[in-house]
Amino acid sequence: MIEDSRCSSAPIRMRAWFALAGLVTYAGCSPSAPESSLPNATADGAAHDAARDDDPAARPDVGPDSAAPGDAASEIGQDAGREAGLLAFGLDERPRNATCRAPQRPDAGDGGGIPAILSATGCVDPLRPAEPSAGLIFYDVNAPLWSDGAEKRRWLALPDGAKIKVGADGDWDLPIGSVLVKTFLLAARPIETRLFVRHEDGDWAGYSYAWRDDRSDADLLPSSVRKTFGDQEWTYPSRENCILCHTKAAGGSLGLETAQLNRTIVYPKGPANQLATFEHIGLFETVLPSSPPAFLVPTSTAGALDDRARAYLHANCANCHRPSGITEVSIDLRYSTRLADTRVCDAEPAKGNFGFLGAKLLKPGDPSLSMMSIRMHSIISGVLMPQIGRSLVDEDGVSVIDAFITALPNCGDATNPDASTR
């Protein structure tokens, strides 16, 4: 049984859903709708990224490839749904993916098999490219990666019949041919859509599309570009930048793991747990554990501070800072690693202290002498962390880390007793 004790927590505004012309339609919150009229989703009791659009969103056809209603995977989540007042499953069937497929790799830097415009990718409605195509499945995460305050919409597209392997650590291994779609919005305006593709050779690659000012379509970018929106500068990543963050050590795709997606979202029929829904429509090769873990929302006030802080570090830092990661510094910020074993507590900074005499990577009780905090507060190139993907400080997120450091009495007490089970 998938349990979700967070369902009674404070609601968050996420997405509106409605039915249109016999199809299940995932639609963005209308900008003219009063906030109180918008459907809510909950995740660990936190106000999460408000998902506002002035463009419609997904309109997936309901496909026929559902899991058998009586199998073990389908039964998971039914009791949890009844106990928490939720639906057993959010979707009845797996949508058929007829168009959003992994393209061939581009030729030597010229774009090659990657469509030049978003509307030609098969991953969006070609007539209304702000709307995902029929085969995409919307999802959300508990602990999002900070991206300079941008709101995000996430979808996944799997080849028909293909299934997701779930590792012992909860990381998901998506099948070859999978496409992840993420749209970034500033002030409710879509500015970028990224496709993260698992090609035939098994490697992942990222492709960025910049939305036109009139929002009629988005254009493929061959390299990194900067553009100003109001008083904020936005950096579109290069393909090389994508792979620097989406490391092989982290499995390529980021955010798609059991503890991140174990949460409630609002489906067309009502609220339901994502994992129970994904199992019901047959996305996994094997049945998930009976009580899968769930990250807390870091910026919530609900739940233990150390768990929230560790979830933030996992989502924002552990893609690089883990065994076999791309950094020269041998630290491990995965949530499953006991803090005492991360090699950060009272450790000397291998990259220098940037003038903060006496600073450690993490100095218990003192964020001002913890390089972890200092670099998160910085916007100076070469100092700031993470080094790619942000130019602004995540004030809410860093305040959680600072509170966590302040509350630590010493390294000996800085352990997660339940880490071995996560």
Q: Tell me: the pLDDT tens digits for 226-263?
A: 999 999 999 998 877 656 665 665 555 678 999 999 99
Regions in the chain scoring below 50 on pLDDT: 1-83, 108, 413-422
Q: Any idea where the domains of the chain sit in the sequence?
A: 5-280, 305-421
What is the per-residue pLDDT for 23?
25
Q: Say what the pLDDT of residue 329 is.
A: 62
Q: CB-based contacts of 207: which residues, under 8 Å, 6+ apart?
A: 114, 194, 195, 196, 197, 220, 239
Cα 175 to its chain centre, rounded Å, is: 18
The pLDDT of residue 246 is 54
Tokens of 142: 């508990």
Cα 56 to Cα 369: distance, rounded to the nearest angstrom: 47
| Residue 164 DSSP symbol | B
CB 100 within 8 A of CB 122: yes
pLDDT at 243 (0 to 100): 64
Q: What is the pLDDT of residues 135-147, one digit of tens each?
A: 999 999 999 999 9
